[in-house]
Every structure is written in C-alpha cells, then in structure tokens.
C-alpha cells in the first residue's frame, strides 16, 4: 500500500519533469525563432551598422556580400540551425570570431557576479524575511518592510551612480569601475563590491517581502496551530513546519532572480565596465551581429528553462499540496 | 605623516577611512609626498621617461580587431596610430604632413607622384619598403573587401603604380590630383608589412607595425597593452607602456579617471567638463573645431530645390542659441561652410546672423509661406535631438512648422542619405578638399545634400589640376562662396572634442582636432 503510493508519486514527478523539459525545448526554439525574426525586422543590417557615418552604398553592398547577408533569410537560418545541432554557434559577422568564444568570455564575469550575489542574497533574504515575520507588526518588522520598499523603489542605475559617488569618489574606499581588469575580476575583489551591492539591492527586497508574507501565512495556518498544541517548540515550528511552505514561492522568485542575473545585467555591467554577457549582447545588437545575438538567445533561453524547471521541482517537493502547475 | 603610521596605506585601502586620510593618500599619489606643490614644479616642460598610461575610449566591444585597415571607431584609430604609421597625416589645419613618406614630388600634370620613404623599421626589425606600401594599399583596395580607406585610395591606379627602388614608389593616378598627399593621410590608410593580414587572425595574435609602440597583449573589448618601440624613427616614446581600455558609458570613463583607474579619458560630455574644469582634480582638454554640426537640406526636392528657401533656412538659425543649447556651449558658431580654421577655409565671408524678417520675405517670394517640413534626427550623435527641438522653435518664429522625426540610431546615416528632406548632420575633421569630393560632387558616394552641379564638379577638377597653391586656394574660395550662398548644408556650429586627463599627464596636444596626427597620440605624452 505504502510503496505503491510512493512509486506512483515518483512516476508522477518524473512525468512532470519530462513534460517540463519538452515544454522547455519548445520554448527555447520559440525564443530563438522570435529573436531571429526580431533582429531581421530591425531597421538596417550589420552592413549598414558597420558603415556608420560613411554609408557609401557600394561599400555597404560589398560588406553585405562579404558577410553573406545577401543570401535569403531562410538559408541563413537553416545554416545556423544545422550548425547549432553540431554544437557550432557560428561566427560573428563583424569580427569573424566564433560566437562560442564570445559567450564563453562573457560568461565568466556574469557568472561570478551572479554567484556572489546569490551567495549573499539567500541568507540575507531569508534571514530578514523570517526576522520580520517573527516580529510581525513590531518596530523591527516595520523597519525591515519600509527599508526594503524604499530600496526597491530606487532604479539600479541611480543606485549605482550614488554608490560610486559616495564610496569610490568621495571616500575613496573602493574602485569606481572594473575598467581594464577584463575577466580577471577575482584578482581585484574590491572592484566587485559595488556591482554586487547594486545587483543585490532589489532582489533582496522582493525576497524578504515574499518570505515574510509566506511565513506569516504559514504561522497563522491550522497545521502550525496544531503543531503548537502538541507542544512542538517555537523554533521547530518556525523552521521545520512554517518555513518550507514559505519557501515554495521564494524558490521560484529566486530562480527568476538567478535567471535575471545570468542573462547579463546590462545596467550594472555598463556602469562598472564589466565585460559580461549583457555587454556582449548590447554590442551585438548595436552591430546587428545576428549570429552572436542568436547564440546568446539560445543560452538565455536554455538557462531560463532549466532554472524555472529546477524551481518548480523544488517548489513541488516543498509544498506538494500547493499543486504547482506544470 | 600618514605614510609612516600606516605603511600599508593605499589609495583604495579600507584604512583610508577618514576624509583627512583620504586627502593624504591623494596627495601621496599626486606629488610623491615630498611636500612640494605639484602645480608649482617648474619642470613640467621636460619630458620624463617611463610609466604606463591607461587610456579609456568608447569601443566596439568583443568584435574589435587590431586590423588597422578596419579602423572605424576612435578607439580603433587610437590603437592603430600607436602600432602603425601612414605615409602622411593631418596637421592641426588638416593639411597633409609627411610621416613615413619623407617627401613627395608630382610631375607637371599632377597625375604621377614620386614618393620617397624615410628610413624606418617594423617592430621585427625589417625595413619599411616600397613593397610593403604597395601591398598595404592593394589590400585596402581589394575589390572583395570593404575597407574604409578604399574610397580615399580610389584616385590611385594601383596596377600601374610600382616600386622604383627599396624606398621609392611611383604612384600613377587616374586623373590629376593636386591634393594627393591627402590620400596618403586618409583615415585608415596604414602601412602593414608585406603579406600581413593574409589570415584574419594575424592582427589579433601578433600585429607588426612601424609605429611608436609594439604589441604586448590584446583582448577585444577590454584592453590592449603596447610597449615602447625603442627604434621608432621619430624617437622612442616617453612612456614605457600604453594601455587602451574600453568603457562605453561616459560616466564610467569619468569615474575611472576621477578614481585614478585611467589617466586619459576620451569623449567627455560638456556638462562633465564644466563640472571638473579648473577644480584641480583632473585636466579638461578641449580640441576645438573637431566636429561640424549641421542641418542637411536635400537640394534636389521641394521645398529645398528653391534656393530662396535654403537661404531662408540659413537666416532662421540662431547659431549661438544652437551652440549654447545643443552643445552646452562647448563649441563655436558656424558660417554654413565646412572646416573652420582648416587650410583653404574661406574665412573672409561675413558671419551669417539670424534675420527672421528677411527669411519670411524669402519664403514669401518662393511661395512657401506656412511651410511644413520634417526634420530627421536621432540619438546617434551628441546634441542631435536638442538641436532639432531648438531649430523647431526658431523656425516657428519665421512661420515654418518643423516636425521632428526620431530615427533609429544604428541605421541613421544610411537612412538619411537618400530619404527625407531635412536632417541633422555631423562630420568629423577632414580636409576641405575631402569634404567636397566625398559629399558635394555629382558622383560622390555620400552626397547627402544631393548637391549635383556640373560646373561645381568642373571647379573641383580645376582645383585638382592646379599646381600653384595660391591659384588653387582661389578656386576653393569660389566653390565655398557658392556653397555659402546656396548650398545645402546649414552648418551652425563646430563642437569641441573633450578629453579628460589626470594631473600627472603632460604633453597632450590641445590644438589637434579629432582625427588629426596629434590627437590621441601617446608617443609624445609623458607622466610626471
């Protein structure tokens, strides 16, 4: 009796994962096609963008031919898609370097920033959220709530400029940018402090508020009251019974945040001169470097699908009754 | 002193937690803590050897290359200039100055030029020869490729041109070209060793030039480090090394400069310049006459096919208001002619002023009262959108309705080349002759004003086949007079190009418009 239930539950779970994976593949393909269509729809192509303020028509035509942009759209898409199946992302139109190298080069700094941010985000977000929930309505709760709301309201660019002005230029504690450090950011840890602070600022606020709300709901629920009546200790109730229920939405929020961090946080990278994926994407769009844009779209698409899948699985495990939709 | 109590005190150390300590640390880096006032030291004029200068430019990201013939952005040119030489380059008045070419001599009909190279060596020690020059020019002119200097080299018949010796070249031209040295100085016409660049990756791995610096390292979109080339023909640079870093955001370049992470920041905003000028923290350098700012009227279609309408528009513009508003005052007013301060500029023509009454009268004569025009603009260059809205208000006072249309940043230049009637326009520094040949002849490739007049073309040919310089200047004057009265370019201003340098940087040339020899030139710069 017991074993059959567990087996069917695990079969249900694996079917859920497979279904989610298939959906993810479809989503990635859709993203890639959409990106391809949108880049095609942009005014001007790589030849026009490269010609800049010397739009000599003969020169544009020559660039177009050299880049094979004169070939029909479907041929270029087909070529690229077959290359992708062999793990070949193609080559950049503007430099002729492999797109895979662009992605690999940009991934390092972005991953580093994302990892550091998440490493601080999780303890800080959950800690503050639980703290606020414990003191619901009290001065600590009100302080945390108003502070998170206030910080959340500040756009990243403004916060970045403010932090640089105060901590780098006025006080001279930290370097204002990571210019010239390239991908070797770990050798200059001081340069990472301000970017991570800016990246952390808004996600931490939303996470704290989610955890706090989930905890308060859970603590007010009948099963917690029941556990309390049985004389289970306060800490155990909080962390073993209430927290997991509060975690489910937070895990999904966390996945979205990691996704946001990995997909290149353009503002922060531009402000602090960090050559990550966001910078690569921005330049590639400006140059109409379609293969690079497509390569990044695939990577971003896959990342989004995998992270959300992970979050859904976690959420399902934490709060199976919540009935997470596949 | 602070440095004795805190031996580990560094500029960015967390130890420098108080304002006083920070000031102390700043003073340390600025003057070596010897107690002298850095501003008062008298030996600023004597170059000092050594040090690495870091220069921040807006760049092209991960697709940058060190192929000098692909140079397109300011960052590309600055790097190419450090590694390579051209046969000639532009002086501050945009006249060609000999560089790798020691001298040039035309024949009587100006269609054959003897060029003699100076004695110079590439970074691998081999001499710069006529063969290298011909190889470089043939590479640029390759019909399969689209190198930027190709159009500039078009007058040369490269099949007929030949080496007359190790260092002698005879250039055969397709037509008389009095201003042939301008071709040698063209944007991107760099000399590379024979057979360089046969493989696309050659220039990224180990570029060899004859410039003042030799290659050390390069990672696209991040940093390029070059080292002094001791055997440089013009004398070794003062700096040990120069590093080019890329920061596309202006605020990042300023912050890096203020924070001591770079010593040279290219392309700053006028507002940034005003905030820091004379404050003692950094030096602001304004390169006058670098960027022509204009409205471009299509002279082949209504309403601008009527020269009275064009003149009315010339009279509508309040140039000072445009300079103050769109350029934040960082520039000078224009007189509807390109190249203020450059060689052959017709400086004697009266400065045009706003005259709304006369503008209205002209429009009435032309039957263009209640005129409506669309002005194309885009965020593609600094001041464009501001200039458009200021001009819209000025035109309204003359009864002209200007509708401002925002265009895409990335395809703006090719969009406005043939379409529309009125557009914001800008140009970097180039010789007046090049401005004419590229934009104002019937078969010019980028003729945005559609200025197509056979007699004007004939004048240009006449200038190019006139040997005597004074006579040639007279022909250019005639052409400019014509453009002044009825041309299609409403040139309202010339913007400064603004740089910032650390106080320790000396020898930065202030009179060189962007694109000229002394701009972004690091072999004459030193650090104190």
pLDDT value, residue B5:
30
Which band of pLDDT confidence, cut at 50, 70 and 90, is reported for residue B493? very high
pLDDT at site A11: 61
Q: CB–CB of B410 and A42 under 8 A?
A: yes
Regarding the domain delimited by B289-496, which CATH topology (the fold level of the hierarchy) does it fall under?
Dipeptide-binding Protein; domain 3 (3.10.105)
Chain B residues closer than 8 Å to A169 by CB: 255, 258-259
A295 near B62, Cβ under 8 Å? no
In chain B, what is the straight-line distance between the N-terminal and C-terminal CA atoms, in Å? 23
Instruction: Tell me what pLDDT residue B260 has.
Output: 92
What is the per-residue pLDDT for B144? 79
pLDDT at B134: 97
d(CA A103, CA A303): 13
pLDDT tens for residues A157-199?
A: 889 999 999 999 989 899 999 887 777 788 888 889 999 999 9
Residues of A in contact with B256 (CB under 8 A): 176-177, 179, 273
Q: What is the pLDDT of residue B411?
A: 86
pLDDT of residue A321: 57
Domain boundaries, chain B: 1-83+211-281+503-528, 85-198, 289-496
Which residues are bridge partners to B156 per DSSP? B173
* For range A70-74, the mean pLDDT: 84
Contact B501, B263 (CB under 8 A): yes
ipTM score of the complex?
Answer: 0.81
Q: Are strands B422-427 and B282-297 parallel, antiparallel or unpaired?
A: antiparallel
Whether the per-residue pLDDT at A23 is higher than 90: the answer is no
| Annotation: CATH topology of B85-198 | Dipeptide-binding Protein; domain 1 (3.90.76)
Alpha-carbon gap, residue B451 to B490, rounded angstroms: 13
- pLDDT, average across residues B374-378: 95
> What does R_g of chain A's alpha carbons equal in angstroms?
24
Q: Which residues of A touch B11 (CB under 8 A)?
A: 172
| Alpha helical stretches, state H, B110-195 | 130-141, 180-184
B404 Cβ neighbours under 8 A, 6+ residues apart: B374, B375, B377, B385, B388, B389, B392
Taking an 8 Å cut-off on Cβ atoms, the answer to whether B410 and A289 are in contact is no
- Cα distance between residue B325 and residue B383, in whole Å: 8
Long-range CB pairs of B452-456 (<8 Å, 24+ gap) are B452/B300, B456/B482
Q: Which of A60, A168, A282 sits opposite B414 (nearest CB)?
A: A60
Relative to beta strand B52-57, strand B264-265 is parallel
The whole-number pLDDT of residue A227 equals 82
What is the phi/psi pair of residue B89, to 5°? -150, 165
Residue A241: what pLDDT? 76
Q: How far apart are the first and last CA of chain A?
A: 27
Quote the minimal CA–CA distance from B281 to chain A in Å. Answer: 11
Region of B249 on the Ramachandran plot (φ > 0 left; ψ -120 to 50 alpha; else beta): beta
Which residue in this structure is represented by tokens 């020690």? Answer: B125
**Beta-carbon neighbour count of residue B457 at 10 Å?**
17
Nearest Cα neighbor of A206 from A322, A126, A262 is A126
**Comparing B85-198 with B289-496, is the CATH topology the same?**
no
> Is B12 close to A174, i.e. CB distance below 8 A?
yes
Indicate the range of B267-276, B396-405, B468-477 predicted with least confidence.
B267-276
Shortest Cα distance, chain A CAs vs residue B415, angstroms: 9
- Give dist(CA A193, CA A199) in Å, integer: 10
Residue A7 pLDDT: 53
The CA–CA distances, whole Å, from A73 to A78, A89, B472 equal 9, 17, 51
**Residue A275: both structure tokens together:** 């050559």
- Decide if A55 and B417 are in contact by the 8 Å CB cutoff: yes
Instruction: Using the CB atoms, write b or e for B130-140: b if 16+ within 10 Å.
Output: bebbbbbbebb
**Residues sharing a CB contact under 8 Å with residue A2, sequence separation 6 or more, in sequence order:** none
Please compute the mean of the pLDDT values over residues B279-283 and round it to a whole number: 90
| Least confidently predicted of A122-131, A168-177, A239-248, A298-307 | A239-248
Domain B1-83+211-281+503-528 has CATH 3.20.20.140: no
Compute the distance between CA of residue B470 and CA of residue B453 in angstroms, rounded to an integer: 24
d(CA A109, CA A191): 12
pLDDT tens digits, one per residue of B294-335: 999 999 999 999 999 999 999 999 999 999 999 999 999 999
DSSP state of B173: B
| Class of residue A182 by CB neighbours under 10 A (exposed 0-12, middle 13-18, buried 19+) | buried
Contact B352, B315 (CB under 8 A): yes
Beta strands in B209-354 (DSSP E): 213-219, 223-228, 241-246, 264-265, 282-297, 331-333
Residue B389 has pLDDT above 70, yes or no: yes
Helix axes A243-262, A99-134, angle to 10 degrees: 150
Contact B421, B374 (CB under 8 A): yes
Q: Strand, coil or helix: what is B21? A: helix
Q: What does the pLDDT look like over B131-190, one tens digit per residue?
A: 999 999 999 998 878 788 888 899 999 999 999 999 999 999 999 999 999 999 998 999
pLDDT, one tens digit per residue, over A74-123 is 888 888 778 877 878 888 877 778 888 888 888 888 989 999 999 999 99
> Quick one: pLDDT at residue A10?
59
Give yes or no for residue B431 having a pLDDT over 80: yes
B441 or B197: which carries more pLDDT confidence?
B441
Q: How far is A33 from chain B (nearest CA, A)?
A: 22
Cross-chain residue pair B414–A190, CB shorter than 8 Å:
no
Q: Kindly report the nearest CA distance between residue B432 and chain A, in angstroms.
A: 16
Report the percent of chain B where pLDDT is more than 70.
Answer: 91
pLDDT at A8: 55
> At CA B74, angle to CA B72 and CA B79, rounded to 5?
90
Count of CB atoms situated within 10 Å of the CB of A4? 8
Higher-pLDDT residue of A39, A111: A111
pLDDT at B397 over 80: yes
**pLDDT one-digit tens code per residue, A209-229:** 988 988 888 888 888 888 888
Q: Per-residue pLDDT for B25 more than 60?
A: no
Residue A73 has pLDDT above 50, yes or no: yes
Predicted confidence band of residue B222 (pLDDT cuts 50, 70, 90) = confident
Whether the bond into A227 is cis, omega within 30 of 0: no
Q: Identify from A273, A281, A293, A296 which residue to disrupt to test chain B contact, counting B C-beta atoms within 10 A and taking the largest count.
A: A273
Neighbours of B1 (CB within 10 A): 11
pLDDT value at residue A9: 55
Per DSSP bridges, beta strands B168-172 and B162-163 are: antiparallel
3-class SS letters over chain A = CHHHHHHHHHHHHHHHHHHHHHHHHHHHHHHHHHHHHHHHHCCCCHHHHHHCCCCCHHHHHHHHHHCCCCCCHHHHHHHHHHHHHCCCCCECCCCCCEHHHHHHHHHHHHHHHHHHHHHHHHHHHHHHHHHHHHCCCCHHHHHHHHHHHHHHCCCHHHHHHHHHHHHHHHCCCCCCCCCCCCCCHHHCCHHHHHHHHHHHHHHHHHHHHHHHHHHHHHHCCHHHHHHHHCCCCHHHHHHHHHHHHHHHHHHHHHHHHHHHHHCCCHHHHHHHCCCCHHHHHHHHHHCCCHHHHHHHHHHHHHHHHHHHHHHHHHHHHHCHHHCCCC
Looking at A39-43, A319-323, B426-430, which range is the least confident one?
Answer: A319-323
Q: Are B161 and B171 in contact (CB under 8 A)?
A: yes
CB of B283 closer than 8 Å to CB of B505: yes
Above 90 in pLDDT, residue B349? yes
* Cα atoms found within 13 Å of the Cα of residue B288, Cβ hemisphere only: 10
Query: What are the tokens at A50?
Result: 């490269």
Residue B11 pLDDT > 70, yes or no? no
B415 interaction partners in chain A (CB closer than 8 Å): 43-44
The pLDDT of residue B1 is 32
Of A308-312, B98-102, B489-493, the one with minimum mean pLDDT is A308-312
| Phi and psi at residue A178, to the nearest 5° | -105, 30
Nearest to A44 among B60, B219, B408 (CB): B408
């Amino acid at each position: 009796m017991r074993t059959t239930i567990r087996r069917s539950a695990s079969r249900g779970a694996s079917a859920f994962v497979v279904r989610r994976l298939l959906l993810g593949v479809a989503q990635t393909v859709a993203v890639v096609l959409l990106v391809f269509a949108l880049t095609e729809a942009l005014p001007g192509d790589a030849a026009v963008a490269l010609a800049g303020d010397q739009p000599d028509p003969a020169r544009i035509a020559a660039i177009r031919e050299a880049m094979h942009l004169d070939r029909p759209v479907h041929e270029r898409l087909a070529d690229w898609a077959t290359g992708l199946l062999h793990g070949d992302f193609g080559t950049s139109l503007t430099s002729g370097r492999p797109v895979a190298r662009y992605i690999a080069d940009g991934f390092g700094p972005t991953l580093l920033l994302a990892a550091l941010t998440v490493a601080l985000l999780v303890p800080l977000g959950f800690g503050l959220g639980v703290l606020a929930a414990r003191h619901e309505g009290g001065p600590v709760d009100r302080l945390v709530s108003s502070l998170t709301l206030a910080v959340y309201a500040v756009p990243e660019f403004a916060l970045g400029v403010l932090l640089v002005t105060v901590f780098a230029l006025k006080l001279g504690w930290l370097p204002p940018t990571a210019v010239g450090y390239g991908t070797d950011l770990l050798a200059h840890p001081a340069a990472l402090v301000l970017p991570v602070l800016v990246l952390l600022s808004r996600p931490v606020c939303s996470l704290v508020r989610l955890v706090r709300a989930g905890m308060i709901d859970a603590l007010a629920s009948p099963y917690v009251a029941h556990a309390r009546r049985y004389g289970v200790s306060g800490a155990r109730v909080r962390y073993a019974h209430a927290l997991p229920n509060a975690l489910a939405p937070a895990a999904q929020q966390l996945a979205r945040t990691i996704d946001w961090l990995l997909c290149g946080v353009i503002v922060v990278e531009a402000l602090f001169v960090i050559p990550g994926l966001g910078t690569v994407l921005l330049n590639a769009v400006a140059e109409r470097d379609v293969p690079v844009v497509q390569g990044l779209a695939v990577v971003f698409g896959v990342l989004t699908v995998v992270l959300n899948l992970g979050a859904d699985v976690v959420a399902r495990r934490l709060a199976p009754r919540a009935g997470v939709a596949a | 002193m602070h440095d004795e109590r805190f031996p580990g005190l560094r500029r960015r150390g967390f130890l420098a937690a108080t304002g006083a300590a920070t000031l102390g640390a700043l003073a340390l880096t600025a003057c070596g803590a010897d107690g002298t006032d850095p501003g008062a030291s008298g030996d600023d004029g004597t170059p000092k050897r050594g040090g690495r200068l870091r220069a921040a430019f807006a760049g092209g990201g991960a697709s940058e290359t060190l192929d000098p013939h692909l140079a397109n952005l300011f960052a590309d040119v600055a790097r190419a200039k450090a590694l390579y030489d051209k046969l000639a380059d532009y002086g501050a008045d945009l006249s060609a100055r000999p560089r790798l070419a020691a001298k040039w001599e035309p024949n009587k009909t100006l269609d054959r030029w003897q060029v003699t190279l100076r004695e110079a060596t590439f970074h691998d020690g081999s001499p710069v020869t006529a063969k290298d020059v011909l190889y470089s020019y043939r590479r640029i002119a390759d019909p399969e490729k689209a190198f930027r200097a190709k159009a500039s080299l078009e007058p040369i018949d490269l099949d007929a041109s030949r080496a007359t010796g190790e260092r002698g070249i005879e250039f055969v031209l397709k037509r008389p070209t009095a201003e042939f040295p301008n071709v040698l100085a063209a944007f991107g016409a760099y000399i590379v060793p024979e057979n360089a660049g046969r493989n696309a990756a050659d220039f990224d791995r180990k570029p060899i030039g004859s410039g003042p610096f030799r290659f050390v390292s390069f990672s696209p979109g991040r940093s390029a480090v070059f080292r002094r080339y001791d055997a440089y023909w013009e004398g070794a640079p003062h700096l040990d090394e120069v590093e080019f870093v890329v920061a596309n955001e202006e605020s990042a370049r300023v912050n890096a400069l203020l924070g001591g992470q770079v010593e040279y920041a290219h392309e700053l905003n006028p507002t940034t310049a005003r905030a820091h000028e004379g404050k003692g923290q950094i030096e602001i350098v304004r390169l006058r006459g670098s960027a022509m700012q204009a409205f471009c009227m299509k002279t082949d279609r209504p309403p601008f096919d009527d020269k009275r309408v064009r003149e009315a528009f010339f009279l509508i513009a309040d140039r000072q208001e445009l300079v103050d508003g769109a350029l934040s005052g960082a520039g000078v007013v224009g007189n509807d002619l390109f190249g203020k301060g450059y060689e052959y500029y017709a400086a004697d023509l009266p400065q045009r002023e706003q005259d709304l009454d006369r503008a209205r009268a002209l429009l009435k004569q032309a039957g263009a009262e209640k005129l409506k025009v669309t002005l194309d603009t885009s965020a593609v260059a600094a001041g464009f959108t501001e200039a458009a809205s200021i001009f819209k208000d000025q035109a309204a006072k003359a009864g002209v309705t200007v509708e401002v249309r925002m265009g895409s940043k990335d395809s703006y230049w090719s969009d406005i080349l043939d379409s529309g009637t009125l557009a914001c326009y800008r140009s970097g520094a180039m010789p007046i002759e090049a401005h004419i040949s590229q934009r104002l002849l019937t078969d010019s490739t980028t003729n945005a004003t559609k200025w197509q007049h056979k007699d004007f073309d004939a004048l240009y040919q006449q200038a190019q086949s006139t040997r005597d310089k004074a006579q040639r200047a007279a022909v250019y004057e005639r052409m400019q007079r014509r453009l002044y009265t009825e041309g299609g370019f409403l040139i309202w201003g010339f913007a400064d190009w603004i740089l910032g340098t650390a106080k320790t940087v000396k020898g930065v040339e202030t009179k060189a418009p962007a694109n000229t020899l002394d701009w972004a030139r690091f072999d004459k710069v030193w650090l104190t």
